[in-house]
Amino acid sequence: MFAKGIAVIGLGYIGLPTSAVLATRGVRVKGVDVNEHFVEEINAGRVPIFEPDLDVAVAAAVARGQFTASTKVPEADAFLIAVPTPFKEDHQPDLSYIKAATESIAPSLHGGEVVILESTAPPYTTLQISKWLSKLRPDLKFPHDSEAPDVHVAHCPERVLPGRTMIELVTNDRVVGGLTPACSERAADVYRVFCEGEILLTDAASAEMAKLTENSFRDVSIAFANELSTICEEIGIDVWEVIRLANHHPRVNILNPGPGVGGHCIAVDPWFIVAAAPDEARLIRVAREVNDGRPGRVVDSIVEAAGMLANPVIACLGLAFKANIDDLRESPALAITRQVADRLPGAIVLAVEPHVKNLPNSLVDIDNCSLVEMSDALPKADVVVLLVDHNQFKSISPADLDGKQVIDTRGLWR
């Protein structure tokens, strides 16, 4: 079915695992990325990102010749676009990466291929891809203006949890939305290679909106927990105890509060809905604002705790956006660490992140911040701030924290 192979455009946290899973099922995969270092590492059988079991899968696929990487787009039977979709400063979607990927694919199309957008995107982005391709390749017919297109175009959003990507790529249900029913079927054939979950066929716009809805629902739920935490702090009640008690109701399941929301999905996707219907998306907008404001409140608490000390040493435990991964995208922990160092220039800020080897770029220009091991940070710290509940931090005992100011944003040490 895929004699020419499948090309995956973008070899990051989604594209690389997807490539590895396809390759382990016997499909020849041709990965494409603009990052030459990523390409070199992958072709050597190494992975430039951390994800459990990904290194083994990539090494095996490369060794068998099933998976190769390049900076150039090859010919293929299917093209999967898995590039970033950030937002601009005004929270408007930035589709420049998707457009660049589309432009790179166009010369390799000859008719008969399927182009699949995996990147999370605003409604009607898949339609826009078809229109872009049509302008680039007027010699071919595309589904937005032909009932019998030469090239099929569809959207299949990723739905995985970092840290479980290799498992959930296979086991999770997939939503596949084509610009025509035939486009949906052609795209579904790609996922039938490895997906053991149910494959749900729909139209492209519904598939795009479904992914945004999933993450917006989670964002609103997190915002409720974070706002509840703020209220409880204000009136002197233990929010963790309140949530524990409330969740004994059979129809209540309140999430745990935290220092904010990060990652490439939940912190970004709701803004795509707001941008699509700004006057109507009131609850979704407020939830985003609540969660975006949470890091600032944590910083205020840290500054207050350190305020009585002349040259405080502050240990910030965790920089990733969630536990047990190395992903720093949109991480509130990273933002908090930066703001603390900026607001307390006389302090020494010790960043502890067991999943990265070097200080992140956003912190390298700060003289009073350094990346250290947990065993070095704890004895020196006057203030200990838990920002991410990595497994390594669960071993910290009350004796390790004795005599220190402690700010536990995750409720790990209650």
Give the residue numbers marked as catalytic: 211, 265
DSSP letter (8 states) at residue 394: G
| Rounded CA separation 385/362 (Å) | 19
H or E element in which residue 181 lies: helix 181-191
- Output the six-digit token pair for 39: 């390409």
Distance from C-alpha of 103 to C-alpha of 115, rounded to nearest angstrom: 12
Beta-carbon neighbour count of residue 236 at 10 Å?
6
DSSP notation for 307-366: TT-SS-EEEEE--SSSTT----TT-HHHHHHHHHHHH-TTSEEEEE-TT-SS--TTTTT-
Strands across the sheet with 152-155, in order?
A: 67-70, 29-32, 6-9, 78-81, 114-117, 152-155, 174-178, 199-203
| Amino acid at the residue 222 | I
User: How far is the C-alpha of 208 from the C-alpha of 157, rounded, in Å?
Assistant: 7
d(CA 356, CA 50) in angstroms, rounded, equals 9
Q: Find the helix or strand (DSSP H, E) in which 215 lies.
A: helix 204-235
3-state secondary structure of 112: coil
Give the whole-angstrom CA distance, residue 267 versus residue 288.
8
Q: Across-strand partners of 156?
A: none
Q: Which amino acid is at 39?
A: V
What are residue 78's DSSP bridge partners? 6, 114
Task: Report the SS3 class of residue 139.
Answer: coil
Q: Pairing between strand 405-408 and 383-386?
A: parallel
CB distance 190 to 80 below 8 Å: yes
